[in-house]
Amino acid sequence: MQNGPKAYWLSFFLTLAILIPLLGGFVLYGLWQQDTAPAQIAQSGVPVGSPTQENDHTLFVAVVAEQPGFVLLRLDGVNNIIRVCPVPAASVVSAPGGPTLLRDSYRSAGPGRAAELLSQTLNIQIDRYLAIAPASLATAWNGMEPPRVNLTGLLEPQELAALGLSEDPVVSLAPEDAPEFLAKLADEGVPPARLERIRGAVWDAALRQQLPSLAITLIEGLRKASSTLLSDLTLTDLYDLQDTLDWLARRQAQVEMEVIPGRWGEDGERYEFTEDSIASAGSWFVQRQQPSESPALATPGPSAGASASPAPSPSEQTASPVGVTPRPSASPTPAPSPTLPPVSGAPAGALG
């Protein structure tokens, strides 16, 4: 009994000798974490150093409508530029069975196949495809201000008057309303060449005016709309796109719009690419590794949209019918194009 208190106090002090250094270590570690946490938070989601090839994306976007609209987007973080290239739905593209129209390929086999054939025809690399309906455009735009588009030089004075825009040709156009607006212009007889330039102007205004918000707001909107999209974009792709858009916004990237050059048929039902088209596309986008001549190419001639020549004024265009069923190609059966690996490969709603 006499040794009881001594043993108790001895064990008590030995326990303190072990616990006090451990507790002190935890306190010091917590203080160190407090000092380093703000720096870690500030760096999250921001590309480290200079952008790489992972920050260069080419997307084929199809807006689902009665008359679908197609756009090639390149988000080039390396060269600090966003390029918008409308592609006419009546574009002639190469297919194993012979030349076909881009819209026919899209309707029969979906956006992945359409992107593949366009990639093969223009000899450019397309990384991902995205088909989106007008209602989903509203979800993806996620509450951002509608772009304001100046139609001066894109529409004739009498066309502006018919739309009630003679005094103020600047229109505020929500993304979900753009397909209906373009369809209305087509019904008014606006030639398809000018319709494509107006389509490009809408995309140009949307990306230019909302560039600071795209990295957060647009990517969040695409996640919200993911179940309604037909795309091979993955969640990893969205993180890469977010980093790239953030970099482009912080560097105040240029936004440039050019219609893929080519030649319209006399009736406006076909848009044929030429060697000038291949050259222009090759200067705007990353080229495919193994170029091959496409049987869908027309004989080289004056180009309708080459960047080297000024865009024609509205008065230089002639109205042509829109929405007419394309005629089959009258040329003899061409040699089949080689079948290339598809750009796509993921099911609808791959973002989710």
pLDDT mean over 323-328: 37
The dihedrals phi and psi of 191, each to the nearest 5 degrees, come to -60, 150
Residue 42 lies in a domain: no
Say which CATH number the domain at 140 has.
Answer: 3.40.630.190
8 Å CB contact between 193 and 264: yes
Position 337 scores a pLDDT of 38
Q: Report the interhelical angle of 178-187 vs 192-209 (nearest 10°).
A: 160
8 Å CB contact between 288 and 119: yes
pLDDT digits (tens, 9 = 90+) for 54-72: 899 999 999 998 889 999 9
C-alpha–C-alpha distance, residues 221 and 138, integer Å: 9
Position 13 scores a pLDDT of 74
DSSP-derived 3-state class of residue 303: coil
Position 14 scores a pLDDT of 76
C-alpha–C-alpha distance, residues 177 and 172, integer Å: 10
Question: Strand pairing of 230-231 and 128-132?
Answer: antiparallel
The sign of the dihedral angle between the CA atoms of 300, 201, 175, 249 is: positive
Residue 161 lies in a domain: yes
pLDDT digits (tens, 9 = 90+) for 116-135: 999 999 999 999 999 999 99
More confident residue, 332 or 220: 220
* Number of domains within the chain: 1
pLDDT mean over 329-347: 39
Residue 328 lies in a domain: no
Residue 195 lies in a domain: yes
Q: Which domain holds residue 164?
A: 56-309
Q: Read off the pLDDT band of 49 (50, 70, 90).
A: low
The dihedrals phi and psi of 203, each to the nearest 5 degrees, come to -65, -40
pLDDT mean over 168-194: 94
Mean pLDDT of the chain: 81
pLDDT mean over 285-290: 82
More confident residue, 4 or 211: 211
Position 127 scores a pLDDT of 96
Residue 168 lies in a domain: yes
3-state helix/strand/coil string of 205-245: HHHHHCHHHHHHHHHHHHHHCHHHCEECCCHHHHHHHHHHH
8 Å CB contact between 171 and 151: yes
Residue 191 lies in a domain: yes
Q: Could you tell me which of 73, 217, 228 has the C-alpha nearest to residue 144? A: 217
Task: Indicate whether 1 pLDDT > 60.
Answer: no
Neighbour tally for 255: CB within 10 Å: 17
Q: Among 95-104, 207-216, 318-327, whose mean pLDDT is lowest?
A: 318-327
pLDDT digits (tens, 9 = 90+) for 204-246: 999 999 999 999 999 999 999 999 999 999 999 999 999 999 9
Q: Which residues contact 281 (CB under 8 A, 6 or more apart)?
A: 85, 122, 123, 124, 260
Position 115 scores a pLDDT of 97
Position 294 scores a pLDDT of 52
Task: Indicate whether 273 pLDDT > 70.
Answer: yes
Neighbour tally for 314: CB within 10 Å: 18
The dihedrals phi and psi of 170, each to the nearest 5 degrees, come to -95, 120
Q: Could you tell me which of 143, 146, 93 has the C-alpha nearest to residue 298? A: 93
Residue 314 lies in a domain: no
Residue 27 lies in a domain: no
Position 303 scores a pLDDT of 40
Q: Which residues of 164-180 are buried (b: 16+ CB within 10 A; e: fewer)?
A: ebeeebebebbbbbbbe
